[in-house]
């Protein structure tokens, strides 16, 4: 199995957290995994992109046209990285409102900012929320809800119940997309 994920967002949104969760999930399934985090220059507010490659890979970086999945924690950061998606096969899971343009990739769109503004989930858990949408809507995603729950538990047991709650809520919300 080979599966390549690009995670794009803004510094402070927790893209690196998702790299860690997916790496743990891969190890739980006894899969090889290489990831890379762009720690960048700006602590908060700059563009961030991270890569996760599950399966037999040798280099942590992802080339253009190679990613199976792009998780975009913010719409423009998603668009900035669409060249990494596989043509005709790649899926983008994006936090964006109705103005997000039509693109030539399978697009799963949810306005997570609007939901957070209505206090439907805490904005600090945006990363986990978008992972929940991914679980619900990407049929090729190589991890099950169980894998991800266990990875989140291993990552930080104290925060896990809250994160898992958000994960479930996202899966529920994904029905309405």
Partner 1 sequence: MKNILMGNDAIALALIHANVDMMSGYPGTPSSEILGNFAKFRDKFGVEAYAEWATNEKVGFEVAYAGAIAGRTTCATMKQVGLNVASDALMSASYIGLKGAMLLIAADDPGFHSSQTEQDSRSFAKFAKIPVLDPATPQEAYNMVKLGIEISHKFETITMLRPVMRVCHAREICDVDEKLDFNPPKGEFKREITRWAAVPPAGRFKQGLEQFARIEAIKEYNWTELIEPKVKKLKGAKTLCLTSGTGTGYVIEALEEMKLEADVLKLDMPYPLPKEKIEALFGDYDKVIVFEEPYPCIEEQLSSPKLHGKLTNDVHKIDEFTKDKVLMAFSNVGLIDKNSFYKSEKYADELPVRPPNLCPGCPHRDVYYSVMKVFKKKKSIYPSDIGCYTLALNQGAIDTVLCMGASISMASGFSIADPSKTVVATLGDSTFMHSGVSPLINAVYQNHKFVLLILDNSTTAMTGRQKTPERINPGKIDIKKIVEGCGVECHEYEYTPEIDKTIDFMKFIKTKYEEATGPVVAVIREFCVLDKERAPEKLPQVFAEVNEEKCVACDICTTVYKCPPMHYNENDKIEIDPFLCIGCAACLDDVCPTDAFVKVVK
Of residues 131-170, those binding partner 1 (CB under 8 A): none
| DSSP string of 24-75, one letter each residue | HHHHHTT--EEEEE---S-SSSSEEEEEEEESS-S-S---TT-BSEEEESSH
98-127 footprint of partner 1 as x/- string (CB under 8 A): ---x-x---------x--xx-----x----
Q: Which stretch binds partner 1 (CB under 8 A): 61-69, 127-135, 139-147, 164-172?
A: 61-69
Query: Cβ of residue 7: shortest distance to partner 1, in angstroms?
Result: 12
Query: What would the two tokens of residue 125 be?
Result: 């858990």
Q: C-alpha angle 172/145/132, rounded to 5°?
A: 45
Is the CB of residue 6 less than 8 Å from the CB of residue 81?
yes
Phi-psi region of 40 (alpha: psi -120 to 50; beta: other; left: phi over 0): left
Q: Is 39 in the site for partner 1 (CB under 8 A)?
A: yes
Region of 16-24, 134-142, 157-165, 169-177 interacting with partner 1 (CB under 8 A): 16-24
Closer of 115 and 136 to partner 1 (Cβ)? 115
Q: Select 116 or 159, whichever has its Cβ closest to partner 1.
A: 116
Q: Are 49 and 18 in contact (CB under 8 A)?
A: no
- Where on the chain is the footprint of partner 1 (CB under 8 A)? 10, 12, 19-20, 23-24, 26-27, 32-47, 57-61, 63-66, 76-77, 79-80, 82-85, 87, 101, 103, 113, 116-117, 123
């Amino acid at each position: 199995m080979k599966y390549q994920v690009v995670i794009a967002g803004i510094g402070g949104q927790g893209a690196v957290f998702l790299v860690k969760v997916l790496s743990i999930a891969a190890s739980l399934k006894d899969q090889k995994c290489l990831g890379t985090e762009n720690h960048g220059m700006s602590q908060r507010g700059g563009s961030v992109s991270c890569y996760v490659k599950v399966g037999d890979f040798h280099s942590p970086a992802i080339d253009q046209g190679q990613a199976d999945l792009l998780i975009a924690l913010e719409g423009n950061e998603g668009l900035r990285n669409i060249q990494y998606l596989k043509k005709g096969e790649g899926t983008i899971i994006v936090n964006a409102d109705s103005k997000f343009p039509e693109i030539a990739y399978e697009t799963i769109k949810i306005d997570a900012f609007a939901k957070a503004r209505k206090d439907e989930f805490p904005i600090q858990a945006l990363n986990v929320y978008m992972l929940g949408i991914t679980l619900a809507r990407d049929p090729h995603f190589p991890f099950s809800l169980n894998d991800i729950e266990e990875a989140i538990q291993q990552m930080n047991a104290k925060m896990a119940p809250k994160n898992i709650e958000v994960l479930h809520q996202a899966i529920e919300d994904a029905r309405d997309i």
